[in-house]
């Protein structure tokens, strides 16, 4: 069973194997120390959902043993200590989240069958004895899913949240609106979901090829009750939903429903069947801000989100410059350009979110760049910047005082191919390989920043844009196993291929829990096993869970691209995109 200790992912800060094993079953008691009731409840939720083998526990005469859960406020809220001995286990956590993550580690130490949905025949489950100390390096560890370009039913989102939680990722960035669809029920403006939630057809050819469409309507939306359910489901798994309503650009679906909010007087709009960057954009005038206040009120009544993403990216501002009323507003405000007006609009939305709903705004890095260096156009200071165009703009945003999330195209955009392989199903371009993700070091990149800026790097996440991801099978293929490896970079702040372990000599090891047996002194922490070997072992867990990931040696026959409009082609080369992100971000047709 020591091989299970060598297959943890993300790998803990310190792992010290101990002799023996502990049999765990449905009869294993879970007790809470002072102030640890909520933490113990989190442990029970995880363990109660596992498919325990039949006939274990009292029926098979297992030795009595239990799991004790304690709180130590000196630990980080998401940190924990896990002590497993032959007679029991003890979880000491900084808070409820730490206890939850300790239990996720326990789950990985069980047989692969613990990842199934129902029991299969087999022996009682044993945990290898060990002393594990762990805590995340980054507070924001997430996954982004675009449900606007292709809609995914609610059960798909719940399964996605389960996988985030299993990998100790704690943010679910839900991209709910874009040119291709509006996915939120609105009781105040029902045209949004009645008109904006569907399109008559969808492009199926690559953006670099002549347009070919599938003449089948596509659409869907989440009711406010659905969103409340999704949020509550995520919260029980220590995942915070970060909803995104794109403003002021990527607004075709919104404007198809409510054209008077556009910046072209009398303009006609449609929910787009195409992918790319379009000139359709909201007006920045007071009527639009009033509308957004009502819409965010509806959304946040269902999703009590501490963070709300407001987009701000890829905005074509020509229609603002051409609109006399908008230009007059800009001059009256003393702003020197449409870019400054763009930044001021984002600040107004952020002020509204903070003042009325107590939520912090998040923007893509264009929202920072458009007003950088101009006091009249600067973002609200507590606005979080997602830096997708590289670590240089991340540094500049951090130096300006903004918290920053590292989301560089390479290697966090998982809508790109996973290999240069003609068998791969159609994608935007690429590749972004699992090796690229394993080399990602979000924390290391900030080491050279000034100290005040380095402290502003709060996390990272992966992105799944869904132009070419049409269903849940394609979603799992593109997400995994890259998301598994990104989870380690997010947890440790270091590349998976060089995750450090705190090798603690026996003399300095923490005292054993009271339930520990009188055995040999703790051994030194194990060296970190190779990430590739750990990932290979982890894929057996995904097999048990039924996740349709991409095998490390390439797609299975039924996962390949085939022929026709959806056949594989090279697409946009990732090296060129990485080298010219500032210019590419302004080119229509390149997401």
163 and 297 belong to one structural domain:
yes
- Residue 499 falls within a domain, yes or no? no
* Secondary structure of 342-411 in HEC code, one letter for each residue: HHHHHHHHHHHHHHHHCCEEEEEHHHHHCCCCCHHHCCCCCCEEEECCCHHHHHHHHHCCCCEEECCHHH
Residue pair 357/300 in contact (Cβ under 8 Å)? The answer is yes
Q: What is the pLDDT of residue 372?
A: 64
Q: Domain tally for the chain? A: 2
Domain harbouring 394, CATH code? 3.20.20.80
Q: What are phi and psi of 99, to 5 degrees?
A: -65, -40
Residue pair 212/203 in contact (Cβ under 8 Å)? The answer is yes
Q: Tell me which DSSP letter residue 172 carries.
A: E
281 and 326 belong to one structural domain:
yes
- Residue 500 falls within a domain, yes or no? no
Instruction: For residue 24, list its beta bridge partners.
Output: 125
Tell me how far apart the alpha carbons of residues 346 and 370 are, in angstroms, rounded to a whole number. Answer: 10
291 and 412 belong to one structural domain:
yes
Indicate the SS3 state at residue 96.
Answer: helix
Q: What is the pLDDT of residue 564?
A: 84
- Residue 21 falls within a domain, yes or no? yes
Instruction: For residue 257, list its beta bridge partners.
Output: none
Measured in Å, how far apart are the chain's first and last C-alpha atoms?
A: 46
425 and 349 belong to one structural domain:
yes
Helix 338-357 to helix 324-332 angle, to the nearest 10 degrees? 70
Ranges in the chain, pLDDT < 50: 58, 60-63, 500-524, 585-591
- Residue 553 falls within a domain, yes or no? no
Residue pair 70/33 in contact (Cβ under 8 Å)? The answer is yes
Tell me how far apart the alpha carbons of residues 497 and 223 are, in angstroms, rounded to a whole number. Answer: 42
- Residue 125 falls within a domain, yes or no? yes
Q: Which tokens sit at 576?
A: 């060129």
Q: What is the pLDDT of residue 589?
A: 38
Tell me how far apart the alpha carbons of residues 271 and 512 are, in angstroms, rounded to a whole number. Answer: 62
H-run or E-run covering 178: strand 177-178
Q: In terms of C-beta density within 10 A (0-12 exposed, 13-18 middle, 19 or more buried), how is residue 156 classed?
A: middle
Q: What is the pLDDT of residue 498?
A: 56
131 and 167 belong to one structural domain:
no
Q: Which tokens sit at 354?
A: 């903070």
Q: Decide the pairing of beta strands 66-71 and 88-93.
A: parallel
Tell me how far apart the alpha carbons of residues 45 and 43 are, in angstroms, rounded to a whole number. Answer: 6
124 and 161 belong to one structural domain:
no
376 and 451 belong to one structural domain:
yes
Q: Tell me which DSSP letter residue 238 carries.
A: T
326 and 339 belong to one structural domain:
yes
Q: Using the 3D structure, point to which of 531, 549, 574 is the last residue of a domain.
A: 531
- Residue 551 falls within a domain, yes or no? no
Q: Using the 3D structure, point to which of 531, 548, 567 is the last residue of a domain.
A: 531
Provide the residue count of the chain.
591
Which residues constitute the domain of residue 109?
2-135+505-531
Q: Using the 3D structure, point to which of 494, 516, 531 is the last residue of a domain.
A: 531
- Residue 543 falls within a domain, yes or no? no
Q: What is the pLDDT of residue 497?
A: 65
Q: What is the pLDDT of residue 590?
A: 37
51 and 148 belong to one structural domain:
no
Domain harbouring 48, CATH code? 3.30.379.10
Q: What angle do CA 412, 416, 422 make, to 5 degrees?
A: 145
Q: What angle do CA 433, 435, 436 make, to 5 degrees?
A: 65
Closest CA to 298 of 380, 411, 177, 206: 177
H-run or E-run covering 22: strand 14-24
- Residues with Cβ within 8 Å of residue 265, at least 6 apart in sequence: 323
Q: Residue written as tokens 């060598």? A: 6
Residue pair 578/524 in contact (Cβ under 8 Å)? The answer is no
323 and 399 belong to one structural domain:
yes
- Residue 538 falls within a domain, yes or no? no
342 and 307 belong to one structural domain:
yes
Tell me how far apart the alpha carbons of residues 171 and 165 are, in angstroms, rounded to a whole number. Answer: 9
373 and 272 belong to one structural domain:
yes
């Amino acid at each position: 069973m020591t091989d299970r200790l060598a297959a943890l992912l993300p790998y803990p800060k310190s792992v010290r194997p101990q002799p023996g094993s502990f049999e765990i079953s449905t009869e294993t008691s879970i007790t809470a120390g002072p102030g640890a009731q909520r933490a113990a409840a989190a442990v029970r939720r995880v363990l109660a959902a596992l498919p325990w083998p039949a006939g274990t526990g009292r029926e098979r005469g297992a030795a009595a043993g239990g799991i004790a859960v304690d709180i130590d406020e000196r630990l980080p809220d998401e940190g924990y200590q896990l002590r497993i001995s032959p007679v029991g286990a003890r979880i000491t956590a900084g808070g409820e989240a730490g206890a939850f993550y300790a239990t996720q580690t326990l789950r990985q130490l069980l047989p692969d069958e613990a990842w199934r949905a129902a029991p299969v025949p087999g022996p009682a489950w044993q945990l290898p004895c060990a002393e594990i100390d762990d805590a995340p390096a980054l507070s924001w560890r997430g996954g982004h899913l675009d449900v606007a370009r292709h809609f995914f039913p609610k059960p798909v989102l719940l399964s996605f949240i389960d996988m985030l939680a299993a990998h100790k990722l704690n943010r679910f960035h839900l991209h709910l609106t874009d040119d291709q669809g509006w996915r939120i029920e609105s009781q105040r403006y029902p045209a949004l979901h009645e008109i904006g939630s569907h399109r008559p057809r969808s492009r199926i050819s690559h953006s670099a090829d002549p347009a070919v469409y599938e003449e089948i309507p596509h659409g869907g939306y989440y009711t406010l009750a659905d969103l409340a359910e999704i949020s509550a489901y995520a919260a029980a798994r220590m995942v915070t939903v970060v909803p995104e309503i794109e403003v002021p650009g990527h607004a075709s679906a919104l404007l198809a429903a409510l054209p008077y909010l556009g910046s072209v007087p009398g303009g006609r709009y449609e929910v787009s069947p195409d992918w790319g960057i379009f000139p359709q954009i909201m007006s920045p005038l007071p009527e639009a801000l009033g509308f957004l206040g009502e819409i965010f009120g509806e959304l946040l009544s269902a999703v009590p989100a501490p963070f709300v993403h407001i987009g701000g990216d890829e905005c074509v501002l020509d229609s603002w410059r051409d609109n006399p009323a908008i230009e007059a507003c800009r001059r009256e405000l003393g702003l020197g350009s449409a870019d400054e007006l763009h930044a001021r609009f984002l600040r107004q939305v952020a002020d509204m979110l903070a003042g009325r709903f107590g939520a912090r705004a998040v923007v893509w890095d264009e929202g920072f760049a458009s007003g950088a260096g101009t006091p009249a156009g600067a973002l609200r200071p507590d606005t979080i910047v997602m830096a997708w165009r590289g670590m240089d703009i991340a540094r500049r945003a951090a130096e300006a005082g903004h918290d920053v999330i590292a989301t560089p195209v390479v290697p966090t955009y998982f809508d790109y191919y996973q290999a240069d392989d003609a068998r791969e199903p159609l994608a935007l371009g690429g590749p972004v390989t699992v090796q690229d993700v394993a080399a990602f070091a979000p924390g290391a990149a900030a080491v050279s920043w000034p100290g005040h800026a380095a402290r502003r790097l709060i996390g990272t996440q992966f992105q799944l844009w869904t132009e070419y991801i049409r269903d849940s099978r394609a979603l799992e293929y593109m997400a995994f196993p890259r998301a598994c490896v990104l989870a380690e970079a997010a947890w440790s702040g270091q590349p998976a291929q060089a995750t450090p372990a705190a090798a603690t000599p026996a003399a300095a090891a923490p005292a054993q829990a009271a339930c520990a047996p009188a055995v040999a002194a703790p051994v030194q922490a194990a060296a970190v096993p190779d990430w590739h070997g750990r990932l290979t072992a982890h894929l057996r867990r995904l097999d048990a869970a039924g996740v349709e990931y991409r095998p490390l040696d390439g797609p299975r026959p039924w996962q390949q691209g085939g022929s026709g409009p959806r056949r594989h082609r090279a697409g946009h080369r990732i090296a060129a995109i990485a080298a010219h992100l500032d210019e590419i971000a302004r080119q229509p047709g390149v997401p």
